[in-house]
Amino acid sequence: MSTFHLFPNLPPEIRSQIWEYALPILEPGVHFFRAGCWTPRYLSPTDEEYERDDPNDNRYAMFNNSRINKTWLAVPIVDVNREARQAALRWAQGHHLQLCFLQERQALVFLRPYSLEKDTLYVTPGRWERFVQELMAPDDMRFMNSGYWLTSYIDRVVMPESFFEEAIPNLHQMFQTHDLEALETALEPASDGFDPSYQYEPSGGSTASWNSELRRFDFEEGNEEMNRPGWRQLLNQAAKALIETFAACRREKELSIMAVRLYKV
């Protein structure tokens, strides 16, 4: 039976539960990097951190997370009836989502903002160089020829697994501006248009983790069936590319290198 005609006769609390069960479960999301997130910040004498002895110490290059684009997700029950829409709006409010009309799909969707605490920043091959060297970009002279303290709270970055091997020799450049705790590769391709909402989960394969006490990477084998051919070799290459830099700067923060699965919400 395609239609449940008695649904309107159910008690309101039962109908409300049914609408709630029809809503997506939101896990950590994936947002796409675009140039222009770095912004200058200048402390003034009224700021608590202001350094009076040397004014140059009051210049910061800040990675502005609010400039990372929102992603969108469709929630079909929005178009069912007023009761269903109200349930979806209550759910959206709890997740800080914004309802809007998406021209590309000619439909109502919810916009999902980047969460610094939970979400991952996806860097495509075409934007990798800009991501690691944006403060030196010749078309943006704001940070050139001046000293700035760096402020970035980006913890997690994901890149396409097909690009990982190519990026390994220059991975250390990323840690000059971002103090990451997770570097992930995606086993599935992701859109780079007007970005739909993706979520991710560990693939279950091998991982490499920085051991700050022993100044080395430790390896966890994981499920061998989940490893793609050559994955352990790539982990070894990535560890060798980073260990000298990490040991020299006496890095204390943890870092895990792993593969993840992306899926569209």
What is the pLDDT, as a whole number, of residue 189? Answer: 65
Whole-structure pTM value? 0.85
* CA–CA dist 101, 79 (Å, integer): 12
- Single-letter code of the amino acid located at 141: M
3-state SS assignment for residue 100: strand
What is the pLDDT, as a whole number, of residue 4? Answer: 62
38-42 β-sheet, strand order: 38-42, 59-63, 149-151
**171: how many CB neighbours lie within 10 A of its CB?**
20
Q: Is the CB of residue 203 less than 8 Å from the CB of residue 226?
A: yes
Q: Which residues contact 12 (CB under 8 A, 6 or more apart)?
A: none
What is the pLDDT, as a whole number, of residue 31? Answer: 93
Identify the segments of the chain with pLDDT beneath 50: 1
Vertex 134: Cα angle to 128 and 137 (nearest 5): 115
Residue 5 CA, distance from chain mean position: 43
What is the pLDDT, as a whole number, of residue 49? Answer: 76
What is the pLDDT, as a whole number, of residue 248? Answer: 85
pLDDT, tens digit, for every residue of 127-179?
A: 999 998 888 877 777 777 677 788 899 999 999 988 999 999 999 999 988 98
* CA–CA dist 57, 240 (Å, integer): 34
What is the pLDDT, as a whole number, of residue 198? Answer: 92
* CA–CA dist 59, 47 (Å, integer): 12
- Single-letter code of the amino acid located at 83: E
Q: Is the CB of residue 77 less than 8 Å from the CB of residue 22?
A: yes
* CA–CA dist 203, 215 (Å, integer): 26
* CA–CA dist 247, 72 (Å, integer): 41
What is the pLDDT, as a whole number, of residue 1? Answer: 43
Q: Report the sign of the C-alpha dihedral through residues 212, 214, 217, 222, in that order.
A: negative
* CA–CA dist 167, 89 (Å, integer): 42
